Amino acid sequence: MARRDLVVVGASAGGVEALVQLLRTLPADLPAAVLVVLHLPTGARSALPQILDRVCALPVAQAVDGAPLEPGTVRVAVPDRHLLVADDHIVLARGPRENSHRPAVDVLFRSAARSAGRRVVAIVLSGALDDGAAGMIAVRARGGTGIAQDPADAMYPSMPRHAAEEGGAEHVVPVDDMGALLGELLSEDISLAPEPPASGLMDTETAMANLDSDALNADDRPGTPSGFGCPSCHGALFSIAEGGMERFRCRVGHAWSPDALAAEQSHALESALWMALRGLEERAALSLRMGDRAEQRGHRLSARTFQQRHDEAQEAAVVLRQLLLKGELNGEGLPDDVEEA
């Protein structure tokens, strides 16, 4: 018999508070390695290891590429690098973003599932949108165990709710109860019988996250053409159906969950509306200037034409301002828990 010995944790908006709560409950003799991904803005410097080290009985440090997994330690993802697991070692990679994030929760979960199978416990904490659901599906497919923060206990309930409802996490509990639950799960004997093998899709997507050239250059792309474009590179997105969840990945590897894709499309639409409004305002201002000059020169027909162009541009600008004010086309009409992390 064997035991679970790898805990992977993912969080986003509201995640610092949840991580502090979780790590405060872990005992100093925890018989597992703990890997943590918190979604961070690009280029951000993270003080998360120092913050968590102050409250955790286990040593907490930034993840180091090539380091072995060590029971009784906590390793935190580095900004702008995916955190992966391969052959019980840590891998840091600058692969394509998933849901606009690097590091990304799904990348860590998927690679841990591929490498450690039944030995994995995956935890999804507070966060917006549906990050972590696809990774939880991968962990469960390989026989691992899933825990989601009780949505009622989370500052941002969307991520843990999706992890439970779509990802199939078996345990949904408040953060304060997770330490005791982990103690039970890590002390249980688990079967040494072969777990379900890693799928070709799991192999390919993990390789993409590690910038494997064979995976990125393969003619056979995961999924089927979706008819949508990638917000990151504007290439074609392919639809992937896994565990009852549909998600998307482009040729160069950018990956999107449904909520993340919709949110990114909303941001792109808002940007387009502002650009269109700017263009209309400039057209109106130019038409007004040219009309004044034409009037001064006695060219009344030209002046009327420029005035008409000015009025049309102003009318169209009013429509765009109303759309921006309502926020219905740029995602502001969504519930609070599905705003971007």
Distances (CA, A) of 105 to 35, 127, 168, 194, 289: 10, 11, 16, 26, 54
pLDDT for the residue numbered 254: 95
Cis omega before residue 103 (within 30°)?
A: yes
Catalytically active residues, by annotation:
12, 39, 131
The full length of the chain comes to 341
pLDDT for the residue numbered 191: 85
- For residue 50, how far is the Cα from the chain centroid? 23
Average pLDDT along the chain, 341 residues, taken 10 residues at a time:
94 97 96 96 83 97 98 96 97 96 97 97 97 97 97 98 97 97 96 86 95 86 92 94 95 94 90 94 96 94 96 95 76 45 35
- The CATH number of domain 2-190 is 3.40.50.180: yes
pLDDT for the residue numbered 246: 96
pLDDT for the residue numbered 333: 46
pLDDT for the residue numbered 1: 73
**CB-count burial class (<10 Å; 0-12, 13-18, 19+) for 123:** buried
pLDDT for the residue numbered 217: 84
pLDDT for the residue numbered 339: 40
CB-based contact 240:246 (threshold 8 Å): yes
pLDDT for the residue numbered 193: 81
For the chain, what are the domain ranges?
2-190, 259-338
pLDDT for the residue numbered 268: 87
pLDDT for the residue numbered 329: 57
pLDDT for the residue numbered 328: 59
Q: List pLDDT tens digits, range 168-196.
A: 999 999 999 999 999 999 999 998 788 88
Please name every residue paired with 2 in a beta bridge, in sequence order, or none if there are none: 190
**CB-count burial class (<10 Å; 0-12, 13-18, 19+) for 228:** middle
- Buried-exposed string 11-32: b where 16+ CB fall within 10 A, e elsewhere: bbbbbbebbbbbbebbeeebeb
pLDDT for the residue numbered 337: 45
